[in-house]
């Protein structure tokens, strides 16, 4: 009997959550590019049958990447996602490809990796902005003296509303940076948890898929018993 589980921590570990979020953008760019190129090229050349192997490659890549993504989500976010794929027939390439194409998990994998680019872009911008601001403010009492004119100006050198030119004047900004660090930690863990929820929603088997998987395994067991 096939079971569906998605055990996960409510708050993923900070270091691994940060690594996961920063990796989402480059992985999203690669996946979005491959999906767009293979889908457009395959659909455009389908009439001359050249698109068939291209679309077949897209299906295989999506399912293979889905397996790798479940492993990445588990290793970095401590979120386990069951494999949702229907068992493939033991023989017959046509039957095996028909199973892959009819399997809803294939198209959910494609949907996940298509969304990974815009979602990863938003996550990357938020995480980098918050952490850069936090660490920049915390370290301001150390590096302000190495800046041009030996001072830091807010909001910039052209418009100087506030000036930091001593350790004492930098300390309030460093305290503000500590607050931003706390916000950055909460943001990182929150975004990682939300992304883990997205992965669970799209990469795990649905109830109907689980039932189909159970029926498929039963049919395979019966076939093996008869042929054996």
pTM of the predicted protein model: 0.84
| pLDDT, tens digit, 9 for 90 and up, residues 181-193 | 999 999 999 999 9
Task: Give the three-state DSSP class for 187.
Answer: helix
Q: For residue 113, how far is the Cα from the chain centroid? A: 8
| pLDDT, tens digit, 9 for 90 and up, residues 77-109 | 999 999 898 888 887 888 889 888 888 899 999
Of 36, 17, 104, nearest to 66 by C-alpha is 104
Quote the tokens at residue 214.
């159970």
């Amino acid at each position: 009997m096939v079971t569906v589980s998605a055990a996960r921590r409510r708050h993923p570990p900070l270091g691994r959550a940060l690594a996961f979020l920063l990796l989402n953008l480059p992985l999203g760019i690669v996946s979005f590019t491959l999906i767009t190129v293979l889908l457009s090229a395959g659909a455009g050349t389908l009439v001359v049958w050249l698109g068939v192997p291209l679309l077949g490659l897209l299906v295989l890549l999506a399912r293979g990447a889905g397996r790798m993504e479940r492993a990445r989500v588990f290793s970095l976010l401590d979120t386990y996602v069951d494999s949702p794929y229907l068992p493939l027939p033991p023989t017959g390439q046509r039957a095996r490809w028909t199973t892959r194409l009819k399997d809803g998990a294939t198209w959910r994998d494609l949907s996940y990796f298509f969304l990974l680019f815009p979602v990863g872009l938003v996550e990357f911008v938020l995480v980098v902005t918050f952490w850069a601001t936090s660490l920049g403010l915390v370290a301001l009492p150390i590096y302000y003296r190495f800046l041009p004119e030996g001072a830091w100006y807010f909001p910039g050198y052209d418009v100087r509303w506030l000036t930091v030119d001593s350790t004492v004047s930098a300390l309030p900004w460093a305290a503000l940076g500590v607050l931003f660090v706390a916000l950055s930690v909460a943001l990182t863990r929150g975004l990682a948890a939300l992304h883990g929820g997205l992965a669970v929603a799209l990469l795990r088997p649905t109830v109907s898929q689980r039932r189909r998987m159970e029926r498929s395994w039963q049919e395979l067991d019966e076939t093996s018993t008869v042929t054996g």
